[in-house]
Amino acid sequence: MTVAHTLEARSLSVGYQDREVLRGLDLRIPPGRITAIVGANACGKSTLLRSMSRLLAPRAGQVLLDGKAVHRTPAKQLARTLGLLPQSPVAPEGITVADLVGRGRHPHQGVLTRWRTEDDEAVAAALEATGSVELADRDVDELSGGQRQRVWIAMALAQQTELLLLDEPTTFLDVSHQVEVLDLLTDLNRARGTTIVMVLHDLNLAARYADHLIALADGAVHAAGAPAEVLDAGLVEAVFGLRSTVIADPVSGSPLMLPIGRHHSG
Amino acid sequence: MSVVDRIRSSDGALARVVAGRRRRSARRRAILLGLGVLIVAAFVVTLMVGRTFYGPDEVLAVLFGRDVQGATFTVGRLRLPRAVLAVVAGAAFGMSGAAFQTMLRNPLASPDIIGITWGSGAAAAFAIVVLGLGGAPVSAIAIVAGLAVALAIYLLSRRGGLVGLRLVLIGIGVAAMLHAVTLYILSKAPDWEAQEAMRWLAGSLNGANWQSAAPVLVALTVLGPVLVLLARDLDALRLGDDTAAGLGVRTERTRLLVLVAAVGLLAFATAATGPIAFVAFLAGPIASRLVGADRPVLVPAALIGALLVIVADFTGQFLVGARYPVGVITGVLGAPYLLFLIIRSNRTGGSP
Amino acid sequence: MTTVPVGTASDAAAERLRRPTRVRLLWFAASLAALALIVAASVAIGSRDVPLPAIVAALGGGGDGLDAAAVQTRVPRTVLALVVGAALGVSGAVMQGVTRNPLADPGILGINQGASLAIVAGIATVGLTSATQYAWVAIAGAAVSAVVVYTIGSLGRGGATPLKLALAGAATTAVFSSFITAIVLPRNDINSVVRSWEIGGVGGARWDVLTQVAPFLVVGLLLSLGSARALNSLALGDDLAAGLGERVALARITAALGAVMLCGAATAAAGPIAFVGLVVPHLCRLLVGVDHRWLLPYSAVVGAALLAASDVLGRIVARPAELDVGIVTAVVGAPVFIAIVRRRKVREL
């Protein structure tokens, strides 16, 4: 089922009111791989994700999906290829897990079409993939943070898109749940060939899980490439303004960044 | 568990998902049916019971167009239009209220609370008291003013997208201002006209006839289906704008369409009956408690609105001492609902 | 490697902290001057033209005829406007502090309407007449509705957000309005009394009304001013306030009681007047910042000035008739409310 979809931005400029956040940014998302976007606070990571999924209209330049501008693609058609999980999604009060995951079928349904067997199958598969079948009849309100995040990812899976964009999928999770979510996304990528693009706060987890790392600074791409090639002390200094040393991760061999701070010498 | 196993659904999971969905759909159908039966029953009772009692045979005869001594006038010309207006106006209030609450993601954010109906109210008071009008011109002015005020609130709350929260608060501000203006107009009115305007403002079915019921019926048959067709997109908006947009919903367009359709329904119903308090506010939450919070509530809310108005009108006419307009009865019903909210929060320790 | 000194302040830093005090005192003097001008205008302007010498004579107790009578009704009216305005201004500032809610206002939160319902019920059932009775009943009604609104507003996720409090206030107001209609509609005898009282005005001011509500206002004001320091701690959030040694629940109840007494007594004296309690603290915060020890006295002065000015405005625009001050404040205040909402970021709501 892997059709290699290409997603790229060309001289993309995006802003809110009088503030320009992205300034003529160019990037290419490698199809079928996991891409992590990193950068300091307020450097435009979320803005980039939102404009790649058509939520924000560009001031100049464009975002191209398979060579077609996403802002001229009908919303539902786009939503069948590209899914988005925003940073802190809100569940309506009193909704059950199965129903929330079922909302992911929205782009596959017309105004008058009824719920079909394939919709049920997609929901069941998404619940299974995220290990949340047992939660199906529970209220989303009752779930723990980690369970809730799995359910949201299940909703994005039920959408059955070949591209999945996630804005900080690990925020508010403790470290074991962070790893669980990232392992799950890796499973998806390996089994289905789903292209995954995520904004991550934790530079070391990004380096561990991503095939491709994009570092943003000042509304433009500062560096992009395999983590082992782009992540070094110079990049951390330039992007985060932080002195650090980068060593090889003893577990995976990927780069591991250690901050230095004012009270030690590097 | 290997990776590939986890991607294709097993039969167990599928069966579980299907069973859960069937159970909820069956419940929903049963409740819709039950509400329909109750409305028909209330409708028949209001046709039969009044100062004079008419048996089912006489009522049926009148409905089929036969001439019955006395009943043709009382049932056909007085009670029937009143009952029809109660049902269609109640359905219009209930449906538009639920649409607002869903769109704004807040069970308290119904159009009567956030000032959408106050435009019609202030304009009608002005037309009755200052211009000395009555009947159809008052309705026309109320409809136009209702739409204009809703549009003004919408435009004021538009700033870089994201209308929801601001819309609620600006609506409350506008409502407070219009409320003061309405009170002022009333205070300057001669007693008789003030009484007339107050009855209208409280929401009343007195003087219902086919001329006042027909426009609401037309509005409901045109705008009701529009809202029902938008229901799925509207429901996706409850997940938040970003998630809804990610699912392919055009958020801004959906909101605007829902707003226009819901305000249209409200304006027509308000013009015919005055703002019947709290029907729009109560119908949605009652409906979602009955059919489950995660199901679309527009249709059940419309049924509940209709039931509320027809029962409250009957109560106001015959079951309490003084003859109260229907809006006073439904307004007072708001109190137990607010109390219920408080009591429930105490029991569950503050979380819903 | 630079080191940052911890625990000592340089002289320059101390000087910087002292400077705003002078600015604040300057603004305070300016507000008092503006207040004096408005008071003069309030005594001088009315539906009847009275020449200046006659005004001076009337104030001195002399003068005669209709001129003197007109001026002599303007004096208690002005005093009532000042007192009610000050009470509403302080009450609004305290409510905004206690609920940490920039949109709190006795009108928006439905507390005025609670007081109104209590008074209307009192008029209809036991025939209340004196201002003291009005005040007791109004304060009780205001207190009950404050508790109801705050409870409903803090339901659900995220506690008492400005949005939920405002909605709870609007819903409660609507319920209370229905009750008032239900009480008044069958009673033609009290209809016009209630209707004119409901709008909110200071036109019918009498000295005896003022003296009867005065004790309530004084106690409310003392409670409020005494809570200023506690409100500063509460502004940081309950947990942090407790960490700073504040007894959070006690502080909140004391301050809320002060605010409720002020707005209940003001409502008893002048009817429900909306938006003064909302607008005044926002205006004052622009002038003096967020320190409640400055904010509360400022709100009193500016509130008094605003209400008196609105009253004068109502006498000018509708000449020879008068526009009740409650209408003027609603028409002037609502746009300010909308402007505040529009300026805020959505997340803060």
- What is the model's pLDDT at position B5? 42
Task: Quote the DSSP letter at residue C348.
Answer: G
pLDDT band at B216 (very low <50, low <70, confident <90, very high): very high
**Chain B residue with minimum CA distance to C168:** B108
Strand, helix or coil at A34? strand
pLDDT band at B4 (very low <50, low <70, confident <90, very high): very low
- What is the model's pLDDT at position C63? 65
Angle among Cα B69, B72, B78 to the nearest 5 degrees reads 135
Task: State whether A94 and B352 contact (CB < 8 Å).
Answer: yes
**Chain B residue with minimum CA distance to A110:** B232
Chain B touched by A57 (CB under 8 Å):
no
Q: Residue A221 corresponds to which amino acid?
A: V
Q: How many CB atoms lie within 10 A of CB A173?
A: 19
Per the model's pLDDT, the better-predicted residue between C72 and A24 turns out to be A24
Q: Are A78 and A131 in contact (CB under 8 A)?
A: no
- What is the model's pLDDT at position C184? 82
Interface of A with B in 203-232 (CB under 8 A): none
CA distances from C290 to A78, C94, C97, C102, C231 (A): 48, 12, 10, 12, 10
- What is the model's pLDDT at position C89? 94
Distance CA C64, CA B227 (A): 70
3-state secondary structure A220-249: EEEEEECHHHHCCHHHHHHHHCCCEEEEEC
- What is the model's pLDDT at position B348? 47
pLDDT of A251 over the 50 cut: yes
Rounded mean pLDDT, A210-224? 92
Which residue, among B22, B294, B344, would best test binding to A if mutated, counting the most A CBs under 10 Å from its CB?
Answer: B294
pLDDT band at B120 (very low <50, low <70, confident <90, very high): confident
Is C149 among the domain residues? yes
Is C84 among the domain residues? yes
Which residue, among A50, A73, A95, would best test binding to B if mutated, counting the most B CBs under 10 Å from its CB?
Answer: A95
**Chain A residue with minimum CA distance to B253:** A75
Distance CA B97, CA B99 (A): 5
Closest CA–CA distance from residue C157 to any residue of chain A (Å): 9
- What is the model's pLDDT at position A43? 83
Task: State whether C151 and B352 contact (CB < 8 Å).
Answer: no
Task: State whether C1 and A93 contact (CB < 8 Å).
Answer: no
Q: How many CB atoms lie within 10 A of CB A6?
A: 14
Task: State whether A100 and B294 contact (CB < 8 Å).
Answer: yes
pLDDT, tens digit, for every residue of B219-228? 999 999 999 9
**What residues are paired with A37 via a beta bridge?**
A199, A214
Answer yes or no: CATH 1.10.10.10 is held by domain A7-226: no
**What residues are paired with A215 via a beta bridge?**
A38, A223
Is C201 among the domain residues? yes
Q: Which of B112, B177, B342 sits opposite C334 (nearest CB)?
A: B177
pLDDT, tens digit, for every residue of C328-344? 888 888 888 888 888 76
Is C106 among the domain residues? yes
**Chain A residue with minimum CA distance to C2:** A262
- What is the model's pLDDT at position A183? 92
Question: Which stretches in chain C have pLDDT values below 70?
Answer: 1-10, 13-19, 47, 61-64, 156-160, 196, 200, 344-349
The structure tokens listed for B68 are 């019955």
**What residues are paired with C82 via a beta bridge?**
none
pLDDT of B347 over the 80 cut: no
The candidate with the shortest Cα–Cα distance to A46, out of A79, A92, A87, is A87
pLDDT of B6 over the 60 cut: no
Distance CA B322, CA B325 (A): 10
**Chain C residue with minimum CA distance to B333:** C175
- What is the model's pLDDT at position A1? 45
Per the model's pLDDT, the better-predicted residue between C156 and B62 turns out to be B62
Residue C98, domain extent: 73-343
Closest CA–CA distance from residue A25 to any residue of chain B (Å): 22
Q: Are A73 and A65 in contact (CB under 8 A)?
A: yes
pLDDT of A88 over the 70 cut: yes
Distance CA B302, CA B296 (A): 12
Is C305 among the domain residues? yes
Query: What domains can be seen in chain B, in order of their start residue?
Result: 74-347 (1.10.3470.10)
φ, ψ of residue A167 in degrees (nearest 5): -95, 105
Q: What torsion, rounded to 10 degrees, do the Cα atoms C276, C280, C283, C285 define?
A: -140
CATH of the domain at C290: 1.10.3470.10
Q: What is the arrangement of strands in the sheet containing A68-69, beginning at the earlier edge strand?
A: A19-29, A7-16, A60-65, A68-69
CA atoms within 13 A on the CB side of C155: 25
Q: Which of B168, B174, B278 sits opposite C174 (nearest CB)?
A: B278
Angle among Cα A46, A47, A52 to the nearest 5 degrees reads 100
pLDDT of A158 over the 70 cut: yes
Q: Which of A191-195, B200-204, C151-155 has the highest mean pLDDT?
A: A191-195
Mean of all residue pLDDT scores within chain C: 82
Task: State whether B331 and C182 contact (CB < 8 Å).
Answer: yes
Per the model's pLDDT, the better-predicted residue between B296 and A251 turns out to be A251
pLDDT of B7 over the 60 cut: no
**Chain C residue with minimum CA distance to A265:** C1
Rounded mean pLDDT, B204-231? 90
pLDDT band at B23 (very low <50, low <70, confident <90, very high): confident
- What is the model's pLDDT at position B350? 35
Interface of C with B in 142-201 (CB under 8 A): 148, 151-152, 154-157, 162-164, 166-172, 174-175, 177-179, 181-182, 185-186, 188, 191-192, 195-196, 198-199
The structure tokens listed for C200 are 């909110």
Q: Which of A168-182, B105-119, C158-172 has the highest mean pLDDT?
A: A168-182
Q: Are C281 and C107 in contact (CB under 8 A)?
A: no
Q: Which of B112, B169, B324 sits opposite C163 (nearest CB)?
A: B169
Question: Taking CB atoms and an 8 Å cutoff, what residues of chain C touch A143?
Answer: none
Question: Taking CB atoms and an 8 Å cutoff, what residues of chain C touch A93?
Answer: 156-157
Is C37 among the domain residues? no
Is C22 among the domain residues? no
CA atoms B138, B139, B143, B149: torsion sign: positive
pLDDT band at B164 (very low <50, low <70, confident <90, very high): low
* Chain A / chain B CB contacts < 8 angstroms: 135
Task: Quote the DSSP letter at residue A139.
Answer: B
The structure tokens listed for C324 are 């009740």
- What is the model's pLDDT at position C127? 77
Residue for token pair 């939503």: A79
Q: Which of B108, B173, B202 sits opposite C171 (nearest CB)?
A: B108
Task: State whether A262 and C156 contact (CB < 8 Å).
Answer: no
Strand, helix or coil at C349? coil
The candidate with the shortest Cα–Cα distance to C197, out of C249, C282, C137, is C137
Is C216 among the domain residues? yes
Distance CA C274, CA B288 (A): 34
pLDDT of B127 over the 80 cut: yes
DSSP B24-87: HHHHHHHHHHHHHHHHHHHHHHHHH-SSS---HHHHHHHHTT---TTHIIIIIIIIHHHHHHHH
Task: State whether A262 and C1 contact (CB < 8 Å).
Answer: yes
Chain B touched by C75 (CB under 8 Å):
no
Which residue, among B187, B191, B242, B276, would best test binding to C if mutated, counting the most C CBs under 10 Å from its CB?
Answer: B187
Which residue, among B153, B165, B340, B345, would best test binding to C if mutated, counting the most C CBs under 10 Å from its CB?
Answer: B165
Q: For residue B285, is the peptide bond before it cis, meaning its omega torsion is within 30 degrees of 0? A: no
Burial (CB count <10 Å: 0-12, 13-18, 19+), residue B257: middle
The candidate with the shortest Cα–Cα distance to C163, out of B104, B93, A89, is B104
Angle among Cα B226, A77, A44 to the nearest 5 degrees reads 105
Task: Quote the DSSP letter at residue B130.
Answer: I
